[in-house]
Structure 1
Amino acid sequence: MNNNEKIPKKRRRLRITHILIILLVAGFCFFVYYRLSLKSKLQARIDAIAAAGYPVTCAELDKWYSIPENVENAAYTIIDAFSCYKKWDKDKSKPLPVVGRAELPACTEPLNKEMKSLITQYIADNNEALELLHAGAAIEYCRYPVDLSAGFESKLPSLSEIRRGVFLLKLEAVLHAENGDGESALRSAISSFGIAHSLANEPCIVPQLVRIACQSFAVTTIEYCVNRVVPDDEQLVEFIECVQNAERNSDISCAFVGERCMGLAFFRAPESVNPDLINGIPFRPVLELFKAAGLVDADAIIYFDIMDEYIQSIQLPLHKRQDAVRAINAKLQSTSKIHILLHSLMPALSRITIMDLRNIAQWRTARTALAIERYRLAAGKLPDTLADIVPAYLDAVPTDPFDGNELRYKKLEPGFVVYSIGEDMSDDGGKERRPRGTKEESPNWDVTFIVAR
């Protein structure tokens, strides 16, 4: 092969080398542009959150979760109540309702002697704790001593103790109602709302779920009391005001704000979070690779967009929220599984929204039923329709938070039921939800408040 033949081959190799270098440089430039673009988009979202007055660091979140200065804090009184709680061992508490395995009889049926005796003893053992619970429930402001600057590793309030306090108050209400002491039963029922409300401003999902569960339980306490004793008009008004305040002061958006802030802390340094706290997080070397490739920032952008949609959904009319959050959840589920961090971190916000709607439905059915009881006290009979109690006992018939129509009302024999159609959007005629795990459990039920007398 002569020199003239070698020259074109060298030129071809050189040309290929140049092309490869150009491609590598172009690829590198594109990657740098891509990473800078992601950083810019992410920072724009963070800046928008801060501009709206919301916290963007866990330290800011800890300060954001606050109560006015120089006011009494209910948290310390409630915590003192927990320290006085006398817990029975498993075998001893098993025959107790609410805190044990036994079921309360139907709300129109009396307690048997053995159950009443056990409840009486249990309440007596916990008298000091109950007095502190009543005192704490009456205090307007509450901020539990938690340090949210630790992000997902923050130690939350003793939620099991708060639930136990609400259970204890229900047992006290049951005993007072059984003894015909309507005034004391009223106090216990209202205090159970107060203890549940102590979690109202907690900026985390789990405490808000516990609050919703406790407030739902408090409504059933009122329902039990109204069936066991006949409250006078003044007591009914107090019940109504309690339920109205619960709805007025309920706002789950604080939980979304807190979760978003903790999510931001996670995306800033995912490798620093204890992997035991969040299921599905890859090992640290994989996280470092994700971070270098821009996948962490990409997941963060999607996360903040979805969180923003959830927060906006809370501003919608009640009856539009369920469809909105289900659409957001469907969008999340359709997101590629390559976004591992997104799917690992994103909480079930659609579920908490629907649970909150169910809670609102309970409050509204309770308020309407209590207004009907006021009408019955005055007129000596039940109203034929809910229009009969407007405007004397209600400014207007409350709407069903699930479909936007008026709540349903039906006379029973004896008594009546006020109900919402619930999340399945099916009118089941005021069918009461049966306890889970029982033979009577059914997938079809309404959100009810029943007075069976």
Structure 2
Amino acid sequence: MKLIPTKRTLKRWAIGLGIVLGLLLLVNAVMAWRTEARFRELVAAVRAEGDPASIAELAPPPIPVDENAAALIDKLSPRLDEFDKEYAEFYNTDLGMQLDNLAPGELLTDEQAAAMRAILDRYPDLEQQIHDAMAAPHYASTADFSLAFNPFLEAQLERMQKLRTFARFVNWRVQTLLAEGKHQEAVDWSLSLLEFSALVKGEPAIVSYLVTIAIRNIAFQDLHQALLTGPTDAATHARVDEVLKRLENETNLEKVLRTERALSITASIDQGWNQAPPVLGNMLGWPIKQFFLPPIELYDEIIPLANVPYPKARKEFEAGGTVAVPTGRGVLADLLVPSLEAAMRSSARDVALIRSLRVLNALQLAGEDAQGLADINLPAEATTDPFTGKPLIVKKTDQGWLVYSVGEDLKDDGGKFDLAEDNGFGPTQGEPEGELN
């Protein structure tokens, strides 16, 4: 028995191995081509809808600097940093810690107001610049849209932190104005910040959208306090209603999701396509690239949900829903779903607060004889809880009106806002108030 194969046998083995390798290379080439073709089809379909398919395509048309709130904010960035440092230092003092413990609607003590005013008085230039920025007619993001995904996201987070500081300055200005009894000025500053938050929708991506909601929440808290702590004439109530109505109408979660998809496509190219030399990447990189296709496809399922009532959209994220985790589309798609669902939840909460404050404003205008929703002049859609599709809960207490949504747990906790069990607004001291910033 021969243990060493003959030359003829070796030749056959070599031919067989060559055929197998040839078939593997052919299969690899087909899979690489299919992956590339599918990616190009997805990107082309996005652009065919008129949507951006890369970070670069998110860049807005240029606007004159003096008309662009974003450009005006860039100019005051150093002063915002200086204020932010003093702001943080203040909250490490006894007065600052006491400020965090004020009861809902409670005005600053004289000592707190004096300390905060002393800091604000060091920034008269910043106050005027903030006022000018909020009065600007346009907002075109000044982000560097030529950056790759990770650097862009890092830079965007830093830019959005400036907007948080911007809103904190306004919040302090409102609180000190209320302490001084300058009620109408406090209302005006609060409404200006709300209108500004609507302009900031020009910033792309979900992370920017969530910061916009945080800014808005600060303005909601200030406006709510201003409405409760001073006399408000009919003209002011009308202006409040107009701003809140416009704010809800201009909220566009669908657009936010479409800009987020553009970031996802750029991330796919940066992390999938650009991680290997072109030849090697094109031939052997397709298994990695395939991981990035399902998340892009997932947006086709999720974007339409932005325009569906939240109770119905929510079901699609639950077990058995079209976008429930596991999605069956791979790990990256499963990781994407929670952030998109959180954006929808935040949007619903934002709408709940807008509507609750709008109802509270209308009840105040209606006067002492008002008993509930039937006594105010608002359309049904403006008084609907976005989490349930039912009317907002309205209660008249000894301290004042309590108006709220049951929130995402769908449970009426009696107007308990501390941990966001319910979402809305209550009277000054004596009822729990929401943590809005």
**Structure 1-normalised TM-score?**
0.81
Match of residue 301 from structure 2: 309
Match of residue 280 from structure 1: none
User: In the aligned structure 1, how far is the partner of 2:75 from the partner of 2:6?
Assistant: 88
1:185 aligns with 2:180: no
Q: What is the identity percentage for the equivalent residue pairs of Structure 1 and Structure 2? A: 21
Residue 271 (structure 1) shift:
6.6
1:348-367 CA-to-partner distances (Å, cap 9, x unmatched) read: 22112211111111101111
1:127 aligns with 2:124: yes
Change in Cα spacing, 1:364 to 1:105, as seen in structure 2 (3 Å) is: same
Give the secondary structure class of the aligned counterpart of 2:161: helix
User: In the aligned structure 2, how far is the partner of 1:218 from the partner of 1:116?
Assistant: 19
- Decide whether the 8 Å contact of 2:62 with 2:140 is kept in 1: yes
Number of residue pairs the alignment of both structures matches: 417
Match of residue 277 from structure 1: none
Please give the residue correspondences for 1:172-211 in structure 2 after superposition, counting only pairs within 5 Å. 172-211=173-212
Match of residue 73 from structure 2: 78
1:334-390 CA-to-partner distances (Å, cap 9, x unmatched) read: 6544x6xx67777822112211111111101111111111111xxx33x2231221x
Given candidates 325, 328, 332, the residue that maps to 1:331 is 325
Change in Cα spacing, 1:325 to 1:250, as seen in structure 2 (3 Å) is: farther
Match of residue 446 from structure 1: 422
Match of residue 252 from structure 1: 253
1:149-181 CA-to-partner distances (Å, cap 9, x unmatched) read: 213222326222211121111122122222322
Match of residue 94 from structure 1: 92
User: In the aligned structure 1, how far is the partner of 2:78 from the partner of 2:298?
Assistant: 41
**Structure 2-normalised TM-score?**
0.83
1:197-244 CA-to-partner distances (Å, cap 9, x unmatched) read: 342121122211111111112111111111211311111111111212
Give the secondary structure class of the aligned counterpart of 2:259: helix
User: In the aligned structure 2, how far is the partner of 1:314 from the partner of 1:373?
Assistant: 32
Please give the residue correspondences for 1:132-171 in structure 2 after superposition, counting only pairs within 5 Å. 132-152=129-149, 153-154=151-152, 155-156=155-156, 158-171=159-172
1:250-300 CA-to-partner distances (Å, cap 9, x unmatched) read: 223333223322322232342787xxxxxxxxx879xx7798241233112
User: In the aligned structure 2, how far is the partner of 1:59 from the partner of 1:123?
Assistant: 38
Given candidates 362, 365, 374, the residue that maps to 2:356 is 365
Please give the residue correspondences for 1:100-119 in structure 2 after superposition, counting only pairs within 5 Å. 102-103=99-100, 105-119=102-116
Give the secondary structure class of the aligned counterpart of 1:125: coil
1:416 aligns with 2:407: no
User: In the aligned structure 1, how far is the partner of 2:249 from the partner of 2:330?
Assistant: 39
- Decide whether the 8 Å contact of 1:402 with 1:422 is kept in 2: yes
Give the secondary structure class of the aligned counterpart of 1:419: strand
- Decide whether the 8 Å contact of 2:325 with 2:334 is kept in 1: no
User: In the aligned structure 1, how far is the partner of 2:221 from the partner of 2:171?
Assistant: 9
1:178-197 CA-to-partner distances (Å, cap 9, x unmatched) read: 23222101111012213433
> What value does the CA root-mean-square deviation take over the aligned residues?
3.4
Change in Cα spacing, 1:353 to 1:393, as seen in structure 2 (3 Å) is: closer
1:267 aligns with 2:268: yes
- Decide whether the 8 Å contact of 1:414 with 1:452 is kept in 2: yes
Residue 15 (structure 1) shift:
6.1
- Decide whether the 8 Å contact of 1:95 with 1:115 is kept in 2: no
Which deviates the most, 306-315 or 289-298? 289-298
1:384 aligns with 2:380: no
